[in-house]
């Protein structure tokens, strides 16, 4: 094959897009306070992409040079047929990495199938090690089930497992050292995430709950020695090695360290919207494109190439104002 002729996805700012995140459902068995409202209305079956449509779009992106696909949600593992979809995407030969973000609730049953489906790395969300706090943050989750899920995933020896923890002041900020110690004990990595203002949530004020990556890092340095790492995983995390351990600590800092300059990713929502930026509404309706032009891969790819022209330069989040972005994280694909 003439690799020079392979089209690439390049935006107006010269950024190459080679990473696609796909939300395969907006549904979830948890209701995390920063992600969803307590009462949510979910999309109907007719509104969401079928698994075949998701696969076709993944294939188109792979043909356009995308090397990494992350499957997310909502909770991806609650969608019927998720494993079969992962298996199919995992067989796309040009893809270097198929990875998954999950809340961990189904990992005791599904880790082995995920491994067999060629999933290389897992991000598992875990904000606290206190069962009552876990219930309060997730509203419906069971900490013991997630901890057992992490152990089940470890037993499958994925290339890498990383904990994702969203830190909120006065809710779980005092636990950052214990979470790192947990990651060290399990020989896995951990990333801390600053909360993003997506959708209107009740129960906490996002400006008051803001706890910056710099504060977390200062807290960690009271107990651990951190050394800046040159590792890049293709995502927005900035990494540090915890000296004397296998563990890396990452910081995803949408507020305090804008990562847009090196953005290499776009998102597909389960409604088929191609979101060009997490913090803006610029999007292209790929569901409409594939339903109006079934089987026309060349046209789908051209629409995707053209969409790069509307990828915004950066996101602007303001915690002191009502969210400008009304879609919730579960509908966005974190």
Sites of contact with ligand SAM (CB under 6 A): 28, 34-35, 72-73, 75, 101-103, 125, 164, 166, 193, 195-196, 198, 329-330, 334
Answer yes or no whether residue 28 interacts with ligand SF4 by CB under 6 A.
yes
Instruction: Identify whether the C-beta of residue 30 lies closer than 8 Å to the C-beta of residue 127.
Output: no
Which C-beta is closer to ligand SAM: that of 75 or that of 238?
75
For residue 185, the tally of other CB atoms under 10 A from its CB is 10
31 binds, among ligand SAM, ligand SF4, none (CB under 5 to 8 A by kind): ligand SF4
Q: Counting contacts by CB under 6 A, is residue 48 touching ligand SF4? A: no
Contacts of residue 158, defined as CB under 8 A and 6 or more positions apart, other chains included, come to 114, 115, 119, 120, 121, 122
Which contiguous run of DSSP H or E holds residue 228? Answer: strand 226-228
Please report which residue ranges of 223-317 form alpha helices under DSSP H: 286-292, 297-307
**Running DSSP on this structure, what letter comes out for residue 311?**
-
Q: Is 31 in the site for ligand SF4 (CB under 6 A)?
A: yes
Tell me if 244 sits within 8 A of 254, measured CB to CB: no
Q: Which of 11, 64, 73, 107 binds ligand SF4 (CB under 6 A)?
A: 73
Which of 126/286 has CB closer to ligand SAM? 126
Which CB, 75 or 175, lies closer to ligand SF4?
Answer: 75
Please tell me the count of residues contacting ligand SF4 according to CB under 6 A.
13
Q: Which stretch binds ligand SF4 (CB under 6 A): 23-31, 205-213, 280-288, 310-318?
A: 23-31
Give how far the C-alpha of residue 9 lies from the chain's centroid of Cα atoms, to the nearest Å.
Answer: 20
Distance in Å, CB of 127 to ligand SF4, minimum? 9
Question: Which residues 104-143 are close enough to bind ligand SF4 by CB under 6 A?
Answer: 125
The partner in contact with residue 236, picked from ligand SF4, ligand SAM, none with C-beta cut-offs of 5 to 8 angstroms by kind, is: none
Q: Which of 244, 137, 232 is closest to 180 using CA atoms?
A: 244
Residues 288-327 close enough to bind ligand SF4 by CB under 6 A? none
Q: Can you tell me which of 56, 103, 241, 247 binds ligand SF4, judged by CB under 6 A?
A: 103
Furthest-apart CA atoms within the chain: distance in Å:
58
| Residue with Cβ nearer ligand SAM (270 or 329) | 329
Q: How far is the CB of 10 from ligand SAM (least distance, A)?
A: 27
Cβ-based neighbour number of residue 171 at 10 Å: 20
What's the rounded Cα separation, in Å, for the pair 251 and 26?
25
Query: Would you say 140 and 75 are in contact if contact means Cβ atoms under 8 Å apart?
Result: no
Stretch that binds ligand SF4, among 71-79, 145-153, 190-198, 290-298 (CB under 6 A): 71-79
Residue 274's contacts (CB-CB under 8 Å, 6 or more residues apart) are: 266, 267, 268, 283, 284, 285, 286, 304, 307
Report the DSSP beta bridge partners of residue 226.
242
Minimal distance, residue 293 CB to ligand SF4, in Å: 31
Site of interaction with ligand SF4 (CB under 6 A): 28, 30-32, 35-36, 73-75, 103, 125, 329-330
């Amino acid at each position: 094959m003439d690799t020079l002729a392979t089209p690439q996805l390049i935006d107006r700012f010269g950024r190459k897009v080679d990473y696609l995140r796909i939300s395969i459902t907006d549904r979830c068995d948890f209701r995390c306070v920063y992600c969803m409202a307590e009462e949510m209305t979910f999309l109907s079956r007719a509104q969401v992409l079928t698994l075949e449509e998701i696969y076709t779009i993944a294939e188109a992106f792979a043909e356009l040079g995308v090397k990494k696909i992350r499957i997310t949600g909502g909770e991806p593992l609650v969608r019927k047929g998720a494993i079969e979809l992962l298996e199919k995407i995992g067989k796309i030969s040009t893809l270097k990495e198929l990875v998954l973000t999950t809340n961990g609730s189904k990992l005791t049953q599904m880790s082995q199938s995920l491994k067999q489906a060629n999933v290389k790395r897992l991000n598992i969300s875990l904000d606290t090690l206190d069962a009552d706090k876990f219930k309060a943050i997730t509203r419906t989750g069971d900490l013991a089930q997630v901890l057992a899920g992490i152990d089940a995933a470890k037993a499958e020896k994925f290339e890498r497992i990383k904990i994702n923890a969203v830190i909120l002041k006065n809710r779980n900020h005092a636990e950052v050292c214990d979470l790192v110690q947990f990651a060290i004990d399990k020989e896995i990595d951990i990333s801390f995430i600053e909360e993003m203002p997506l959708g209107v949530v009740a129960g906490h004020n996002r400006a008051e709950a803001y706890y910056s990556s710099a504060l977390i890092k200062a807290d960690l340095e009271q107990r651990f020695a951190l050394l800046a790492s040159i590792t890049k995983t293709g995502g927005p995390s900035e990494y540090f090695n915890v000296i004397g351990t296998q563990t890396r600590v990452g910081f995803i800092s949408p507020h305090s360290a804008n990562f847009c300059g090196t953005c290499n990713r776009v998102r597909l929502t389960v409604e088929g919207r191609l979101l060009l930026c997490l913090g803006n509404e610029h999007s292209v309706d790929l569901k409409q494109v594939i339903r109006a032009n079934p089987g026309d891969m060349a046209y789908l790819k051209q629409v995707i190439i053209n969409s790069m022209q509307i990828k915004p330069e950066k996101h602007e989040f303001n915690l002191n104002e009502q969210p400008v972005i009304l879609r919730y994280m579960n509908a966005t694909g974190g």
